[in-house]
Every structure is written in C-alpha cells, then in structure tokens.
Structure 1
C-alpha cells in the first residue's frame, strides 16, 4: 500500500434502487450502456477506475483538470444517450470530485478520508450534475471555461471546518459567448437597475421553490442500500455524516443528518435502529429534543429570505397528517401510535402555506433563530429525529 495525493471522482446513479425495482432488466441495460460510455472517457483523461459496485464508480486521477474534463465529457455523453431514452427509465449519474490524501491498495482500490468527501460531494450533486470541493476549484480555476455556482458550506464527518461545495455549470463555447455578451450588455448603466428589480422578484420565487424541495439535493442518503449492507445499529449510524445522540427518560434519541430523502425510507431506518420517528408527549421532552438538535451544527437548514432576514427549518419529527383529512389542521397523528396529547405548533401552523403539507418538523419561518415550535412541511429537511426505547 502507498499513500498518494490524488483527485478522486465518485459517481453513482440517482434513485437507482427505484429504477431497479420498477424494471430491473431495463435499468441494467441502460446502466451497461452508460458505463460503456463512461469508462473509456475516464481512461482517455488518464484516470484509473479503482472500484465499482452496482451503479457506483470510483476513479482517481493525477490531475484535477483532467478529472473535471472527464466528468463534464461523460455527463455530456450520458445526456446524448438519455435523449433517446424514455424519460421514466433514464438513469442520471451524479458526480463528486475532491483532492485528498488516500491509500492506494495493491488491487488498485483507494481508501481514505479524501474518498469519503468525494462520495459526500456526489450525494450533493443534482442528477446529471457535478459537485467539486474548494480545493478542486482552486486548481481548475482559469484552466477550463466553466460556470461555478456555490452550493454552500457543508459539514462532513471528521472534518472540523465545513467544506465549500461548488456545482459545475455550462462549459460549452455557446455558454462562453453568452457570458461575454452579457458582460457587454451590463456596461449599459440602465441595465443594472432593471436587473436589480428582476432579481428581487426572482429571489422570492427561488426561495418559495427551495422550501418545496428536499434539501441535500437528489434523493438524499441511499437508506435502502445502507440497511441492506449494515448489520448493527452502530454500523448504520456510522454511515451518516452527523449523528447527535442523547438520552431522556430511558429513551435514546438520534438526530441523524440525512441530506433530505423520502419519508418511507426513514420509517425503515428508524425500525432498523429499533425505534420510530420521534413522538413528543410533553413540553419537557420537546425542550430536550429541540436542544439536542442544536448540540451539533448541521441539523438545521438556513434560508435567506429577501428583505426579511433568514428562515430556519429544523429536523423532522414523527407527526404526520392522515391522507384525506380536513386541511390544514385535521388528522395529525404520531406514527408510533401514541395519542396526540401534546402539540407545539408555531403561530399559524399547520398552515399549508406552501401547498398541501402532511409532515412536521421543528420550524418557525417568522423567527430569526431556531425555534422549539413546529411547522408543517411537504418534504424531508436536513435531519430526522429517531426515538429508541431503551
């Protein structure tokens, strides 16, 4: 084994488990075709595939520039292929790229924290997209014509400081020409004033859209695959970037950072840990769980609200609304079957202010800091709280 500083490319198919369950033969056929396009591109850019498992691919490069060029080229090739495929069966790879110190095994496989970060970047990427770390962007800046968008600061297990994450945008000559043309247009002194007004209006729309999406991008952590391979609660929890654990009245509570996901998956996750999405029965329990969500930074999502400061969305709790119940306040119940004797809704909640919302979390958009009150929400946020009886 040898240690080397390498550029690591991690890739997998977004929502692959669902595609296989829907039509395994078609999914495997498309995966083989996409890998047939991907592998030669990686080789052409002097990369070496270190490991593959199902839909996942791990490769390393000596050059971050070549790694990024390979990622762009393979996503373009996949797009061309997918244009001829029915939209419901398209497989979209997500790619993450990081520079890190790794151990190269005799088999050619690579291990180390740099690999783990690349995998977390891949999970943050949009389906069909690419995310890179700050150290990659520092190396490729000015060497390739690219549009980079900062995704944000994200915390990764065993890293003290959050990692700056960037998504990679248009790198085509057309994109370059458009950017240069926009630069010329901006020299007109009237244009910036008009743009400022448009941006303010668009920002409100973007904020509304963002709150209706699952943070963390893609479908979040692949819970199904994790539960299939992990043998114990310790192994399950160790797979997540951030888990905060505490005990209250003979129950253990885990606040698990999942980067979004699907609700049914987290019912399965809670069951695998021997518990359920938290059911809160008193003010004391509510205060304990709320304070537990604040113990480690990373469980709350913070949104910039145009002209109104910030909004905070916290971890999910096990309170859901029965399908078909009177909106917005009817039919709420704890998933574990406990009677609903205590609630701590924020003023105006539940309110369906972002459409039909049948899940609950710690949230109060009207306050400029995390709040122990609850809000109704349409989808999973950054973290979930799981309660396990001792």
Structure 2
C-alpha cells in the first residue's frame, strides 16, 4: 500500500507507510529526569463557535492526559500547547486546570499548570497585571496543582524595564505556597513577548531572570527555557542556584540537553513530548539505567519531526501536534479550538505524517494512513 503526499513544490512523492507498529519498553516510574509534556486540548467539533468559542471535549482531553501519565510523563497543563492565548480563553483554561488536577489526584499523576494574565483586556496597568496573576495563582493552587508562572503579554506591554519584572515576580513568589516553575517563552513562540525581562538583549534579560531566582531560590522549583538556543540554555543552567532545576523547552535540541554533560543536565517540559510520549518515556527509562546511547538512539531520530513541527512560524506548532494525535487515534477528528487546524499548509501536514510514521509513532499505522488519505482527499488530492 502506498500514499501520494504533496510536497509544496508542485510535485508529489509516493510514500510506503509502515505496516506494523513500533513498541517501546519503559520501566516505570522514571527516576533520573523529571519529564513534563505540555499537553494539547481536544476541541468539541459539534459546539457552536458563537456560543462556546473555547469548547473542549473533556472526555477526550482527560483521556489524553491519562495516556501521558501511563508512559511516565508529567503533565504541564494549560500552557501554550493547549492554545493559551490562541483560542483557549481563561475561563476554559481554569476549568481545564481543575479537571486535569482532579484526574491527576485520582490516578497519581504529576501535574503543573500555567498561571498567566490572559483574562486581561489589552490596555492594562502594572497593578492589573499583578492582580490577574494573583487570581490565576489562587485557582491553580486551589486545584492542587504545582504552579508554572508563564510569561505575560500584558506585562511585556506595560513593563518599563527590569525593575517592573523584579517587582511583579517577587510579589508572586512571596505569595506562592510551594516552589513554582518559572517559564521564559521566547518571541519565536509568541511575538508579543519580545523584550521580556526588560530587554531585547538576551544577555541583559538573562541577568534579570537570574536576579528573580536569586532573590527567592526557595520558591523556585525550576525554570523552563524556551529560546531554541542550546548554548544559551546550558550557560544559564550552569548558573542556577543549587536545587533549582532547568527544564528544557528547546524542541530543536532536547536529546543533548536532557542527556547533559559532566557539569549537569536539563529536565524537560516540552510540547514535542505530546506526540512523543511513548518514545520519550522509553528513552528516559534508558537513562535511568545509565544507557545514554540507548536514550539517544530512541530520541535522536525524532528531532527531524520536531524541527518540522516547530518550524517558523513556530507558534503554529500546535496544529501538527493535534494532527498527530488524530492520526494516532487519540481523538476522533482533526478540529482545533478557534479553527487553528487551518494554520498549517497541507504539504506541511503531509510531511509531518511521513516523519511521524518513519519514527514509528502510530500505534495503528493503518488507521493513520487511512485518516491521512481522507484528509488529502478532502482537499482534492488523489492520494
């Protein structure tokens, strides 16, 4: 059986899909690294958009989180992978956090959830930004989830310099009940975050970021770095106070950053681990036994797929993530909150399918091939 895939150059390629699934053995629990997957949400395709702009299929969404926990991964909830700021509004995010946190407690899964300011109108003051953060902080802590302090578009818009970041984050860290994860999301993921930490100069921004941590090291569990710059992450990792983890958010260089070097390593909080959960869990379990070569042997072949999904404009990577969830059978449709399934071209999606199939990500390759063929046919491609 073959399938014809468009390439975006006006030509097509004939691809031979896998005929059998690839299985991975994982020893649980994972011990050597803390590994979070930022998880997508499953939209409700039958909800009227005018009545429910952020309608979520709760059963399918929670089932996917159980899938992640079953492979040893922790869940990073209501992050940008879940379309925060790109279709998922704060009321829906708050409900997602409550439901997922309750599910985590029921099954013994680890969870951390995003705290931001996305309930604010565009025109905001520093006081309003702080109050919005505090409102969301209270919701996440009440749900029983660990807190991830997300970068704020509103703060980036109103802050006049590093001191404003030090003030807002200092206040939030003093209020938090338990240590939090600080999230530095680069402008490639969200252009509105250009100049975060008070400077477009990344060296200067890094100093402010480290100042925030140094002022409250007992309140910082770790930092998530999403700058797609491996060298910068390693340099920052080596300057963190003892006991503060580095969680890589680098979807281009994650195998080498998680493996680490003689000076240390990164844990993980990655959107790419949403489609890679079985492989990621199996790979980290190799590290648990000291088998670094086995770890890299599993993860290195997935990097081409990840770089494709997270290619510019990077913020639309969610479309590829949800496509792969549908092809893998984790949801019954390829529909996204806010219609974001249209954010990537058909050739981009076809290449994502091919790379995922080559990597052995589909538990049922025949189902994936059938669904990909149906998507192509829908768009006028005789596959």
**The two structures share one fold, judged by TM-score above 0.5:** no
Who wins on radius of gyration, i.e. which is larger?
1
Structure number having the greater helix percentage: 2
Higher strand share: 1
TM-score norm. by structure 1 comes to 0.28
Q: Relative contact order (alpha carbons < 8 A, sep ≥ 6): 1 or 2 greater? A: 2
Q: TM-score under structure 2 normalisation?
A: 0.29
